[in-house]
Amino acid sequence: MKTAQLLLAAALLAGTALAQQGAPRADMSPKTPPTDAIKAYLKLTDQQATDLQALRTSLREAVRPLARQLADKTKTLREELKKDPVNATAVSTLRAEINDLKVQISAKRDEYGAKSRKVLSGEQLAALDALQQALSLLPAARQAIGLNLIDIPEGLAGMLGGGRRAAGAVPGIGAGPTAGPASGRRPRI
């Protein structure tokens, strides 16, 4: 039962957690994702929630110029690859620059992740570790759903790729893998 609760909490956060790993768009939306589930799970105080949101905003501001450069370089690379003949030197340079920008963005995420974890107590960090472990079970849970071994928890049908049973569909039909947060693809934020 505890594992099921952790899996449910992980699934609720999967989109947000995985989205933060993807390459950000230059036009990142200022919309704040819901935090009620994580606040309840980690028993965050209002001040902690405010501090975490402020760190998230700071990260977005720090990453925004890098994300714009990444988008520009990626567009330029696509244009270079369409040319005939392809300029191998330009393509190689652009790929190196794109990789460097991705490394810089990843470093910023790591930096702000460390700052965010400092907001939490030891008990909250332990609960966060359990959540991370539960998140690693998400691919197995998706496959178990696809094999009709478990049901999709109510409210998570869209996130887990289908609405079988949770939305009244025929059990065992149409619950195969889909592209989404649990598919291993890295969504963009």
Q: Which residues of the chain fall below pLDDT 50?
A: 1, 3-28, 163-189
Residue found under tokens 């478990």: 150
pLDDT in the model for residue 176: 42
Q: pTM of the predicted model, to two decimals?
A: 0.63
pLDDT in the model for residue 147: 95
pLDDT in the model for residue 118: 97
Angle between helices 122-135 and 2-19 (to 10 degrees): 90
For residue 89, give both structure tokens: 């030197």
pLDDT in the model for residue 164: 46
Distances (CA, A) of 121 to 16, 35, 44, 46: 21, 18, 9, 14
| Cβ atoms 154, 142 nearer than 8 A | no
pLDDT in the model for residue 21: 45
**DSSP string of 109-158?**
HHHHHHHHHHTS-HHHHHHHHHHHHHHTTHHHHHHHHHTTSSPPPTT-TT
pLDDT in the model for residue 157: 72
Q: pLDDT tens, 48-98?
A: 999 999 999 999 999 999 999 999 999 999 999 999 999 999 999 999 999
Domains in the chain (CATH in brackets) are 1-32+121-189 (no CATH), 45-119 (1.20.120)
**C-alpha to C-alpha distance for 177 and 139, rounded to whole angstroms:** 9
pLDDT in the model for residue 40: 94
